[in-house]
Structure 1
Amino acid sequence: METLRIGMFAWESLHSIKVGGIAAHVTELAETLASMGHEVQVFTRKGCYRDYDEINGVHYQRVDHDSSGDIVHQMNSMCDSMYDRFKSFKNHYGDFDILHGHDWHPVNVLCRIKKKYESPFVLTYHSTEWGRNGNYPGNWRGSDEISHREWKGGYEASQVIATQEQFKKEIQNLYKVPDYKISLVPNGIYPGKMEKDVDPDEVKTRHGIDPSSPVVLFTGRMSYQKGPDMLVDAIPHVLDNERDTNFVFIGEGDMRTHCERMAYDMGIKDSCHFLGYAPTDVLTDWMNTAEMACVPSRNEPFGIVVLEAWDACRPVVATDAINLIDNFSNGILSYRHSGSVAWGINYALDGLNGPYTKQMGINGNKLAKTKYNWNNIAKHTLDTYRRAMEI
C-alpha cells in the first residue's frame, strides 16, 4: 500500500480548540490513518496548546490567529496563519500527496494553496449554513459569506465527502456539486468509546432523580437545527403516559435559555435537568445511565450522537432527519414535530418492561461496531483521496 503524506485542515480537534463534533471526527480519522502507516499533519488552531505536538502518531501543527471580530474575520486570520505554516513546512519537508479540509472554515487556505502549488484537496461537509439555521426559501437567517465559502469549497475541491445520502442531496441542491465529484463516507466511532461501567442509581440520585425513574437523554448543541425545543414541547405528552420520566439535556447553545423558559412556563421544570456543557466523563455517565437517547433534529448531516448511544447499547428515538436508524430494529423514528417525538418516546418507555426496547440498543451496538468503525471509514476516505489525486 502506498504511504501518503496527508495535510488535514480543521478549525478544531480534540488536541487543540474543541468546539463540536468536527473535533472528534478529525482526531479519530487522523489517528486511524496514522495507524495504517500514513503521515498525517493536522493544521488547526493553537488555543492554549503548543505550536507542535505528535499525539497518537498524528502531527499537530497549531497556529495563532486574531480572535477578535466575527467568525468570518477569525477564519480569515486562521487561514492566513495556516498558509504561512503550510508554506514553511513544505519548504523544509517537501510536498503533500493530498490535502483534506473539514467544513467551510479552512476553505480559503485550501483554495490559496491550490492556486499557488496546484495541490488537489478533498473537502468534507459536516453541515451547511442553510441546515444550521433551519432555513427555507424566503426565510434566510444565515451568513451569505459562509454559504459562499461552502459553495467555493465544493467548486474548487477535487472530491467532496458527504456523510449520508440525505445530506448529499442537500449539498447538491444548494451548491450544485456534480454526482461524479461527491463520495458518501459516514462518520465513525471507536468501539467502546462511550461504554462505561456506572451505577445508574448513583448517577440519578446525585442529580435528585429517583433511581426508579426512567431518563431520556438529549446531548448536543442547543440550537434550532438540533430541535431541543421540540423535545421540551413533547415532554407533557410523555408525562401523561409515564409521569416520573426525567429529561437530561447536555449541551450549550443559543436555545438553552429558551428551552429552560419553555419548561418553566409549561410547568415541567422539575422533570427537566439542563446541565449545559459537560466534560466527557459526565457525558459517558449519563449515556450509560439513561434508558434511551433522543435526537429531535430538524436537520442532521449525520447524527454522531446515535453512534454514541449505540456504543453504550442505548436505543434511540430520533426524527426522520436521521438516516441511520432501521425503524423498530435499532431505534424509533418520528416525524419532525413534538407530538410524533412524544409518541416515539412513549413507545420506547412502554417497552422497558419487555425485551424489545433493550434489544434495539443491542442491535444498534452491533451496527456501530461493524459498519461505523473507523477502520472502515478510513479505507473509504483513502479511496476518495486516490480519486482526487488522479484528477
Structure 2
Amino acid sequence: MESMRIAMFSWESLHSAKVGGLAPHVTELSEQLAKLGHEVHIFTRSAWYRDYDEINGVHYQRCSFDESGDIIAQMNKMCDAMYSRFIQVSKDFGDFDVIHGHDWHPVNVLNRIKYELGKQYVMTYHSTEWGRNGNVHVNSPTALDVSHREWLGGYDSSQVIITSDNFKKEVQDLYSIPDYKISVIPNGISPGKMEKDVDAGSIKKEYGIHPYSPVILFTGRMHYQKGPDMLVRAIPKVLDGNNWGAHFVFIGEGEMRPYCQNLANDLNIGNSCHFLGYSSDDVLKDWTNACDMTCVPSRNEPFGIVVLESWDATKAVVATDAVNIVDNFQNGILSYRNPESIAWGINYALDGLDSRTPGMGSNGKKLVKTKFSWDTIAKNTVDAYNKIE
C-alpha cells in the first residue's frame, strides 16, 4: 500500500476545540492512518492551542480566526482560514493526495479546494440537521443554510462515507446521494479506551447511592435528538416495576438539562436522578465502569459512539431502535422510541443483572475488538480513498 498525504478538515479534534463525538473520531482515525504509514494533517480550529503540533504521528494545523457572530458566520471565517493554511502547508510539506472533510462545517473550504485547485474530496457524514432536530425539518435561516451545505458536500464530493446503514438511508432520503458514491464505514474505538478497574460501590457512595443499588448511566449531549427527557419519563415506571432502588446518572450538558432536572422533580423522582453536567474523562470512565448498564434513548442516532464506549467497559446497553448497531438480546436491549418501552427495556435488563445482562456486555466487548477496531476502520477508509476519481 502506497503512503498517502491526507488532509483532514474538521471543526474539532481531541487536541484542539472539542465538542462531541466527532472529535475522537477524527483524532483516532487519523492516528491509525498514521500507524499504517500515511502522513495525516488535521486542519481544525486553534481554540486556545498553538498553531502547530505533531501528536501521536499526526500533524495538527490549527487555524485562528475571528469567532464572533453566529455559527454560519464562524464557519465561513473558519473555512477561509483553513484554505489559507492549506495553501501554506502544501508549500511546506508537498501536495496532498487525499482531501477528507467531516460534516457540514468545512464544506466551503472543501469546495474551494475542488474548484480553485482541482482536487476532489471525500466527505464523512456524522449527523444531519434533520436528525439533530429530532427528525424534524426546521425552516430557520441557520437550519436551512446548514442543510444546504450538507447537501452540497454530498453533491460535490467524489466519495461519501456514512457510519451506519440506517443513517445511509436517512442521508439518501434527504440529499439523494447515489449508492456508487457511498461507503458505509462505522465509527470506532481503541479497545481498552474506557476500561478501568474501579470500586463501583465506593463511586456510588460518593454520590449518596447505596453500594448495591443498580445504576443506569446516560452520557452525551442533553439535546432533544438524544432523548434524555424520554429516559426521565421512563424512570417512574422503572422504580414502580422493581424494588431495586435504581439510580440514574446523567453525564452531559445541553439545553435540555434544566428541563430534565425540573421534570424529574415534578415526577417526584429527583432523589433517584443525578445530573452531573459536563464531566472530566476520569469521571466518565469511573461511571462507565461503575454503572450496571447504559441507556441510549435517542430519537435519532447516526451511529452511537457511547454504545462502543459502554461495550468497551463490558456493559450492556438499553437503546431505542434508532441505534442500529445493537443486536437485540445479544449485546443489549432495543426498545421503541417512547418512555414506556424504554422502561420495559431497563426493567428487563435489571431482572437479568445476575444472569443474562453481563453476557450482553461481554458480547459487545468482542465486537469492540473486531468489527469496531480502528485498524479495521482505517483500512476500509483507505479503500474509500482509492475510489476517488
Matching residue's letter, 1:279: S
Matching residue's letter, 2:205: T
Match of residue 202 from structure 2: 202
Say whether residues 1:313 and 2:314 are aligned partners: yes
Q: What SS does structure 1 have at the residue aligned with 2:352?
A: helix
Match of residue 167 from structure 2: 167
Match of residue 127 from structure 1: 127
Q: What SS does structure 1 have at the residue aligned with 2:197?
A: coil
Match of residue 281 from structure 1: 282
Cα distance between partner residues in 1 of 2:183 and 2:262: 42
Structure 1, residues 211-250: CA drift from partner, whole Å, max 9, x if none?
0100000000000000000000000000002341000000
Match of residue 25 from structure 1: 25
Match of residue 44 from structure 2: 44
Cα distance, 1:116 vs structure 2: 1.0
Matching residue's letter, 2:106: P
Match of residue 179 from structure 2: 179
Structure 1, residues 250-279: CA drift from partner, whole Å, max 9, x if none?
000111111001001110000000000011
Q: Give the alignment of 1:57-136 within 5 angstroms.
A: 57-136=57-136
What is the aligned length?
A: 387
Cα distance, 1:120 vs structure 2: 1.2
Cα root mean square deviation, aligned: 0.9
Match of residue 231 from structure 1: 231
Cα distance between partner residues in 1 of 2:368 and 2:335: 21
Match of residue 258 from structure 1: 259
Match of residue 387 from structure 2: 387
Cα distance, 1:92 vs structure 2: 2.8
Q: What SS does structure 1 have at the residue aligned with 2:183?
A: strand
Could you tell me whether the CA contact under 8 Å between 2:41 and 2:61 is conserved in 1?
yes
Cα distance, 1:185 vs structure 2: 0.4
Structure 1, residues 78-108: CA drift from partner, whole Å, max 9, x if none?
0000000001111233210011000000000
Cα distance between partner residues in 1 of 2:209 and 2:279: 18
Cα distance between partner residues in 2 of 1:352 and 1:172: 40
Unmatched 5+ residue regions in structure 1? Answer: none
Cα distance, 1:109 vs structure 2: 0.3
Unmatched 5+ residue regions in structure 2? Answer: none
Matching residue's letter, 1:266: L
Q: What SS does structure 1 have at the residue aligned with 2:358?
A: helix
Cα distance, 1:136 vs structure 2: 3.4
Q: What SS does structure 2 have at the residue aligned with 1:387?
A: coil
Cα distance between partner residues in 2 of 1:140 and 1:134: 14
Cα distance between partner residues in 1 of 2:91 and 2:19: 31
Q: What SS does structure 1 have at the residue aligned with 2:295?
A: strand
Match of residue 340 from structure 1: 341
Cα distance between partner residues in 2 of 1:246 and 1:65: 44
Cα distance, 1:140 vs structure 2: 4.7
Match of residue 242 from structure 1: 242
Q: Matched residues, percent identical?
A: 65
Cα distance between partner residues in 2 of 1:18 and 1:92: 27
Cα distance, 1:67 vs structure 2: 1.2
Could you tell me whether the CA contact under 8 Å between 2:135 and 2:300 is conserved in 1?
no
Match of residue 351 from structure 1: 352
Cα distance between partner residues in 1 of 2:180 and 2:212: 53
Q: What SS does structure 2 have at the residue aligned with 1:359?
A: helix
Cα distance between partner residues in 2 of 1:119 and 1:74: 24
Q: What SS does structure 2 have at the residue aligned with 1:247?
A: strand
Match of residue 193 from structure 1: 193
Q: What SS does structure 2 have at the residue aligned with 1:362?
A: helix
Structure 1, residues 140-195: CA drift from partner, whole Å, max 9, x if none?
56710000000000011000010000000100010111110011000000000000
Matching residue's letter, 2:27: T
Matching residue's letter, 1:320: D
Matching residue's letter, 1:188: G
Q: TM-score, normalised by structure 2?
A: 0.98
Match of residue 325 from structure 1: 326
Cα distance, 1:323 vs structure 2: 0.8
Cα distance between partner residues in 1 of 2:261 and 2:350: 24
Cα distance, 1:293 vs structure 2: 0.2
Q: What SS does structure 1 have at the residue aligned with 2:40?
A: strand
Q: Give the alignment of 1:134-153 within 5 angstroms.
A: 134-136=134-136, 140=139, 143-153=143-153
Cα distance, 1:12 vs structure 2: 0.3
Match of residue 304 from structure 1: 305
Match of residue 361 from structure 2: 361
Cα distance, 1:35 vs structure 2: 0.5
Cα distance, 1:367 vs structure 2: 1.0
Cα distance between partner residues in 2 of 1:345 and 1:20: 26
Matching residue's letter, 1:46: S
Cα distance between partner residues in 2 of 1:242 and 1:99: 53
Cα distance between partner residues in 2 of 1:64 and 1:48: 9
Cα distance, 1:135 vs structure 2: 3.5
Cα distance between partner residues in 1 of 2:160 and 2:34: 21
